[in-house]
Amino acid sequence: MIEIRTPRLILRRWHDDDLVPMADINADPRVMEWIRDGSVRDLEATADDIERWEEEWDEEGFGLFAVELLASGELIGFVGLSVPEFLPEVLPAVEIGWRLGQQFWGQGYASEAAHATLEFALQDRGLDRVISITRPGNEASQNVMRKLGMEPERETTHPVYGHALTVYAIDLTEFAA
């Protein structure tokens, strides 16, 4: 069983009970503003997402963690690792990503979970490099990247949607855990 505890969070694999709270997060246009074409995802699409995320865990030995508040057990979203298949030019690569419900922004949870995820990537999975891909306007996401010590490495365009993308990267051998 993979479970990581941080001072305020539990990072774990997905349970059936996560579907409804994750679908609520995916249904919020502000959460989805910078993701793909900005469209929200309904319950069915979220169920497909969670199934895919669990498959990635089984196939790769890493994936997107369900992130839960230690104090209340509430699901606040995901933070974790994935292979960015949508952007072939950066492959092979492992990407760190995050998506939290709006009511959980601004409390340092994304950074806390992301820090633990990079430790997991290095110490448990032996990865030496992790990237993160975002749209240039997504300041909140780039703020997390910079705080982790990630640096912008490449500008490109989304192969499907055609919008600009910025790729950040970190050499985990220099990551101060």
Binding interface with ligand COA (CB under 6 A): 31, 34-35, 98-100, 105-111, 134, 138, 140-141, 143-144, 147
DSSP state of 19: H
Tell me which residue of 150, 108, 116, 156 sits closest to 136, measured CA to CA: 156
* Minimum separation from the CB atom of position 155 to ligand COA (A): 15
The Cα diameter of the chain in Å comes to: 41
* Minimum separation from the CB atom of position 27 to ligand COA (A): 13
Rg of the chain on CA atoms, in Å: 15
- Name which of 1 and 118 has its Cβ closer to ligand COA: 118
- Name which of 126 and 162 has its Cβ closer to ligand COA: 162
* Minimum separation from the CB atom of position 1 to ligand COA (A): 25
Distance CA 80, CA 99 (A): 10
- Name which of 85 and 173 has its Cβ closer to ligand COA: 85
Give helix then strand counts, H and E, for the chain: 5, 8
Q: How far apart are the first and last CA of the chain?
A: 22
Which are the contacts of 15, defined by CB distance < 8 A and separation ≥ 6? 66
Closest residue to ligand COA, judged by C-beta, is 108
* Minimum separation from the CB atom of position 19 to ligand COA (A): 18
* Minimum separation from the CB atom of position 145 to ligand COA (A): 9
CB 116 within 8 A of CB 6: yes
- Name which of 126 and 153 has its Cβ closer to ligand COA: 153
Token pair 């240039």: residue: 136
- Name which of 6 and 125 has its Cβ closer to ligand COA: 6
